[in-house]
Amino acid sequence: MSTVCFSHGQESGPWGTKIRALAEIAREAGHGVESLDYQGITDPQLRARKLCAWCRAQPAPAILVGSSMGGYVALAAASEAGAAGLFLMAPALYVPGYEAIPVPPPPSCRITIVHGWQDDVLPWSGSTRYGERSGARVVLVPDDHRLVADLASLCRVFRLFLDEFGATLSGPQNRKEPS
């Protein structure tokens, strides 16, 4: 099984509430688990380089999981790192006021995005826009940016992602071409 590597957001740490809950699900599914510590690294490109370096040191492609800025970081690293899959939570995509930061092109792996309807930090419209562009599965949930008020829903979606990922690892991915 692949290792699941978590990338936390700008204001959080490597073993926050969401990551601990999802790491347990990954372990139960037979995956290895890693959570990189980006504290003190504010530049998302430097975080992506750190993630790519970690991925290159692994014996097999990893499943990348990222929250907020960590979602952007996982996506930015995915193609170069040869990610096996992406699970993004409230990713920092198409952020108002940061239009100069390019949104990475879709990698050729399975992508699931979960975003809260009540997110007042990063608009969920960025996730739906990327989902339309990439063919990613986008799940909107009744939660805010942190996605811990309804942690059970997030865990169900992650479990489904891992189950489907394992069942279709060698099958076609139904990806859209970037527009």
Is residue 32 domain-resident? yes
Q: How far is CA 8 from CA 2, 69, 146, in A?
A: 19, 7, 11
Is residue 144 domain-resident? yes
- List the domain range (segments joined by +) for residue 98: 3-167
CATH number at residue 60: 3.40.50.1820
Model-wide pTM > 0.95: no
Name the average pLDDT for the chain.
Answer: 91
Determine contact, residues 112/65, Cβ cutoff 8 Å: no
Is residue 172 domain-resident? no
Q: How many domains does the chain have?
A: 1
Determine contact, residues 87/147, Cβ cutoff 8 Å: no
How many residues appear in the chain? 179
| pLDDT tens, position by position, 75-121 | 999 999 999 999 999 999 999 888 888 899 999 999 999 999 999 99
Residue 162: both structure tokens together? 């891992």
State the Cα angle at 38 between 60 and 64, rounded to 5°: 30
CA gyration radius, the chain: 15
